[in-house]
Amino acid sequence: DGVTEVLAHHSENLQDKFVEIPCSEDYDSHKRFEGCTPRKCGRGVTDAVITREEAERIRRIAERGLSLGGSDGGASILDLHSGALSLGKHFVNLYRYFGDKIQDIFTEEDFALYRDVRQRIQQRIAQAFGISSASMYLTKPTFFSRINNTEAKTTHDEYWHPHVDKVTYGSFDYTSLLYLSDYTEDFGGGRFVFMDAGSNKTIEPRAGRVSFFTSGSENLHRVEKVHWGTRYAITISFTCNPDHGIGDPVLM
C-alpha cells in the first residue's frame, strides 16, 4: 500500500519504453483471432510517435468540440465517431444537435490529422506486440476527455474508479491514450495508475505522450482525481474482432 513506481516522468522524453507482463485469462472467454489476440501482454510508453505540436493541434480540436457542451461535473467527453458529447448531466449527438454548423467548428484538416495520428498509434502498438496492424480494428468508445476538479454530478463524472477495459467493454484488446496536456503545468493530480499486486506504476501525462497496453486484467488501472487545472487526453481503442470495428470519423 502506498508503494509507487513512476514508469514515465513528465520531464522525460522517452523514445520507447515497454514492459512485458503475463497475460490474464480474460481473452479466453472471447473468440480468439490468430495474429492479433494478445499472447504477449504488457504496457508501453513513447514520446516519439506524436509531436508536441501535433498534440496541441489535436487539443484545439477537443477544445472547440467540448466548448459546445460539457458536463456539469468534472469529466466531459467528445466522441467524434458516434457524435456523443457531454451536455449538462446527459449526452447529445453533436452531429444531429448542431447539424451543418459542425462545419464551422471542425475542418477536413482536423479529421485528416486525427486519422493520421490514429494510424501511427495503431502501427506502434502492432510493432510493440509483434502483430500486424492490419489485423487490428478501431473500436468504440474512442473519445476525447476533458477532466477538471469540479465535483462529480453523475456516475459518468466518476472517472477515478479502478477498472479493466476488457471487462468493461468486451471488444477492447489494446487500449491507448494520447495525452494532450502536461502534468504539473496544466493540471495537478490526474496521473494514470496501473494497479499491480504490491505496487502501483504511474504514468505522468505529457503533451504528445502515448501510453498503450493490452486491455485485460493484467492491466487493472485508474486515473487519479484532478486537483487543479484541466487534463485533456484521447482514448483510442482497438479490437481484434472485425465485427466490433468502427470507421474513422467523417465530417458530415
Whether 237 and 174 have beta carbons less than 8 Å apart is answered as yes
| 247 is a domain residue | no
Is the confidence at residue 146, as pLDDT, over 80?
yes
pLDDT at 185: 98
Boundaries of domain holding 67: 4-241
Contact present, 48 and 16 (Cβ < 8 Å) = yes
The verdict on residue 246 lying in a domain is no
66 within domain boundaries: yes
The pLDDT score that the predictor gives to residue 135 is 98
The answer to the question of residue 152 being in a domain is yes
Taking the alpha carbons of 20, 22, 26, 30 in that order, is the dihedral positive or negative?
positive
Any bridge partners for residue 192, and if so which?
A: 203, 223
pLDDT attached to residue 4: 85
At a CB cut-off of 8 Å and minimum separation 6, what does 6 contact? 201, 202, 203, 204
Distance CA 231, CA 188 (A): 9
pLDDT class of 79 with cuts at 50, 70, 90 = very high
In a domain, residue 16? The reply is: yes
Based on the residue annotation, tell me whether 231 is a catalytic residue of this protein: yes
Contact 35/238 with Cβ under 8 angstroms? Answer: no
Instruction: Tell me whether residue 49 is in a domain.
Output: yes
Total count of domains within the chain: 1
Q: For the chain, what is the mean pLDDT?
A: 96
168 within a domain of the structure (yes/no): yes
| Residue 81 identity | H
Mean pLDDT, residues 87-96 taken together? 94
Q: pLDDT tens digit string along 161-197?
A: 999 999 999 999 999 999 999 999 999 999 999 999 8
pLDDT tens digits, one per residue of 22-49 = 999 999 999 999 999 999 999 999 999 9
Please report, for the domain that includes residue 64, its CATH number: 2.60.120.620
Please determine, for residue 134, whether its predicted confidence score (pLDDT) is greater than 70: yes
Query: Domain for residue 250, yes or no?
Result: no
- Please say if the pLDDT value at position 3 is more than 90: no
> Would you call 121 exposed, middle or buried from its count of C-beta atoms within 10 A (0-12, 13-18, 19+)?
buried
Tell me: pLDDT of 2 over 70: no
CA–CA dist 167, 188 (Å, integer): 29
- For the residues 124-130, what does the mean pLDDT come to? 98
How sure is the predictor about 198, in pLDDT bands with cuts at 50, 70 and 90?
confident
Please identify which of the residues 43, 118, 206, 231 carries the catalytic annotation.
231
Distances (CA, A) of 20 to 17, 36, 128: 10, 16, 10
